[in-house]
Amino acid sequence: MELLVKSVALLAFLFLFLGGTVWIGISLFMVGLLGLIIFTDLPALTIMSNIVWNNTSGSTMMALPLFVFMGEILFRSKISENLFNGLSPWMDRIPGRLIHVNVFASTLFAAVSGSSAATTATVGKITLPEFRKRGYDRTLCVGSLAGAGTLGFLIPPSMMMLVYGIMADVSIGKLFIAGFIPGIIIALTFSGYVMYRCVKDPELAPAGDLSYSWGDRLRSIPLLAPVIILVTIVLGSIYAGWATPTEAAAVGVAGALFFALLTKSLTWQILRDALMGSVKTSCMIMWIVCGAAFLSVAVGYLGIATSLTSFVSGLGLSRYTLILILSIMYLVMGCLLDGFSMIVMSLPIALPLINQAGFDPIWFGIYLVIMIQLAQITPPVGFNLFVINGLIDDDIGKIAVAALPFFVMLLVVTALLTFFPDIVLFLPRMMVR
């Protein structure tokens, strides 16, 4: 009974603060603080200060602002526009034509930005006007952008993976590498669906007047080179064990600055905007991570996580039943919360259950990121839907319907990864360190 009172009290405080539009970082700190003050005689403020110091003083956290800065530079420079121009000649003969640029440009840009919103906005800003000009099917174009834009969270480096890795105390490098194969599978699944639709109805992506020769394709390779080189350097150095994620992020920033200078798109204003955007985003994420870490410790001191884990374990649920229940929970959360909130609010409870069931925490990190991808295209809070709405000023409901096939495909891939976890764990097991 005492445990129930504590749990209800913490949930009530959380909904009170969040419902009162208090910032989520402050809400998490306040809930943890009230829980410790009301139900224990522990020095709550001392615990809070230690948690904040421990979560901000480590070298791992340095990777966060560096990866954010790299993404900001690429987002604001000509590199993203060159990515579209470089991919277009290679997609011209495939059923679906330039719609595949949505998928593959999002995949490549995700590999250097780490942000779903930045990926969707950058690719959509370039592709959607071009699709409209060529008479492509609006629904398929919008849906493919909404779905492929979510790859910004899964293709490494990923802000969500960084936050999960810090909170779950698992290797950031292994998490990054673990997301690579699932990300490629999702991209190929999306592309395969576009091909299937356009084979059935070629008018969804009409040929138009423009055609490309092999000379055009070869001349487009230098436009793709900056992104491919950055991805190779950042992920390759982590995979080979030559660099930690923080060191790889620093090299990535240097590479992004070099290529921005090379394309003559780095001005003082762009550099200033990129720095300011990085500071704002990094501070927001760090604040949420610290608040979540403090709340997790408070939940631990109150015995809620341990008792709930023992209770669920006593039910004798199978591994797959547990994943099904968690998936339903995350789908509901995704309708109401953003990705960072989903991680920080659920992890103190979900992670012990996952460990108890025998799932690898690295596998669970990838699973959780895909659940967050689903949240990005789930109304009413699906952030990718709002990003696309800002680009084309279309109804959120229509955009959500367009994204529905890609939502279903993400669920299918999640089931595949659940039954065959080695798809996720194959590369991390081969890492040098």
Is residue 136 within 8 Å of 204, Cβ to Cβ? yes
In-domain check, residue 7: no
Token pair of 376 as six digits: 């990005």
* Number of separate domains in the chain: 1
Q: Please state the three-class secondary structure of 34-51 as a single string.
A: HHHHHHCCCCHHHHHHHH
Give CA–CA dist 57/60, Å, rounded: 9
Count the Cβ atoms, other than its own, within 10 Å of residue 390: 13
Residue 269 exposed, middle or buried by CB count within 10 Å (0-12, 13-18, 19+)? exposed
Integer Cα distance of 327 and 414 in angstroms = 10
CA neighbours closer than 13 Å in the CB half-sphere of residue 175? 28
Considering the domain boundaries, does residue 271 fall inside one? yes
Instruction: Measure Cα distances from 30 to 16, 18, 45 in Å.
Output: 11, 11, 11
- 355-362: Cβ within 8 A, 24+ apart: 356/309, 356/312, 356/313, 357/317, 357/319, 357/322, 358/319, 359/319, 359/323, 359/421, 360/421, 360/424, 360/425, 361/168, 361/170, 362/170, 362/171, 362/174, 362/175, 362/178, 362/424, 362/425, 362/428
Question: Do residues 370 and 414 touch, judged by C-beta distance below 8 A?
Answer: yes
Q: Residue 10 falls within a domain, yes or no?
A: no
For residue 396, being part of any structural domain is answered with: yes
pLDDT in tens, the chain (433 residues): 666 777 778 778 877 886 777 777 788 788 888 888 888 888 888 888 887 887 676 666 677 788 778 878 877 777 777 777 788 788 777 888 888 888 888 888 777 766 677 778 778 877 888 788 878 888 999 999 889 888 878 887 777 888 888 888 888 888 888 988 999 999 999 999 999 999 998 888 887 666 777 787 888 888 888 888 888 888 788 777 788 778 888 888 888 888 888 888 888 888 898 888 888 877 877 787 787 778 777 877 777 666 766 666 667 778 888 899 889 888 887 776 667 777 877 887 788 888 888 899 999 999 999 998 888 888 766 778 877 887 787 777 888 899 999 999 999 999 999 999 999 998 888 764 4
Q: Identify the pLDDT of residue 168.
A: 85
8 A C-beta contact, residue 98 and residue 136: yes
In a domain, 411, yes or no: yes
pLDDT number for residue 189 = 95
CA pair distance 237, 234, nearest whole angstrom: 6
13 is a domain residue: no
| pLDDT score, position 414 | 94
Kindly report the pTM of this predicted structure: 0.79
Start-end of H helices in 335-360: 339-357
Question: What is the span of the domain harbouring residue 101?
Answer: 22-35+42-430
CA dist., res. 367 & res. 128, Å (int): 30
Has residue 14 been placed in a domain? no
> Given this model, what pLDDT does residue 410 score?
94
pLDDT of residue 121: 78
Position 4 in a domain: no
Q: What is the pLDDT of residue 397?
A: 83
Please work out, in degrees rounded to the nearest 5, the angle formed at the alpha carbon of residue 155 by the alpha carbons of 149 and 157. 115
What is the per-residue burial (b if ≥16 Cβ within 10 Å, else e) of 66-94? bbbbbbbbbbbbbbbebbbebbbbbbbee
Tokens of 278: 């990085």
pLDDT given at position 305 = 63
